[in-house]
Amino acid sequence: MIFKGYLIIFSYIFLLIFLIGPFIKKFTNIETSRKIIHIFLFAVWIFIDIFMKNTIHQIIIPIIFLILNIMSYKFKIYKSIERETENHFGTIYFAIAITIIMLISYIFPKFYYPSGIATFCLTFGDGFAALIGYNTNTFKIYQNKTISGFISCFIFSFISSLLFSYFYNIPLNFMMCLLIGLATAIVELAGRGLDNFSVVLISFIMSYMFLNYPTPILLISIILAEIIFIIVFFSKSIDYYGSILSMFIVFSYLFFGNYFTLSILLSEYFFIFLISLFNKKEKHGRKFLQILINGGLGTLFIILYGIFKNINLLIISIIQISGCFIDSVSSDVGTLSKKQPYDIFKRKRIDSGLSGGMSILGTLSSFICSILISLSMYLVLNLKVLDLVIITIIIFGQTIIDSLLGSCVQVKYKCKECGKIVEKNKCCNKVTSKISGVSWINNNMVNLLSSIVITLISIAIYL
pLDDT, position 143: 84
Mean pLDDT value across residues 203-221: 97
pLDDT, position 300: 98
Mind giving me the DSSP string for 386-440? Answer: HHHHHHHHHHHHHHHHHHHHHHHTB-EEE-TTT--EESSSEETTEE-EEEESBTT
Beta partners for residue 413, in sequence order: 422, 434
- Sequence ranges of the domains in the chain: 1-136+160-169+190-203
pLDDT, position 77: 63
pLDDT, position 85: 47
Spatial CB neighbours of 252, under 8 Å, sequence gap ≥ 6? 299, 302, 303, 306
Residue pLDDT, tens place only, 323-337: 999 988 888 888 777
Please say if the pLDDT value at position 461 is more than 90. yes
The rounded Cα 223 to chain-centroid distance in angstroms is 15
Residue pLDDT, tens place only, 387-437: 999 999 999 999 999 999 999 999 999 887 787 888 888 888 888 888 889
pLDDT, position 32: 83
Residue pLDDT, tens place only, 95-144: 999 999 999 999 999 999 999 999 999 999 999 998 898 888 788 899 88
Counting residues of the chain whose pLDDT is more than 90, the rounded percentage is 64
Mean pLDDT value across residues 51-70: 92
252 vs 339, more confident: 252
pLDDT band at 441 (very low <50, low <70, confident <90, very high): very high
| C-alpha span between 18 and 377 (Å, rounded) | 65
pTM of the model: 0.91
Beta partners for residue 426, in sequence order: 431
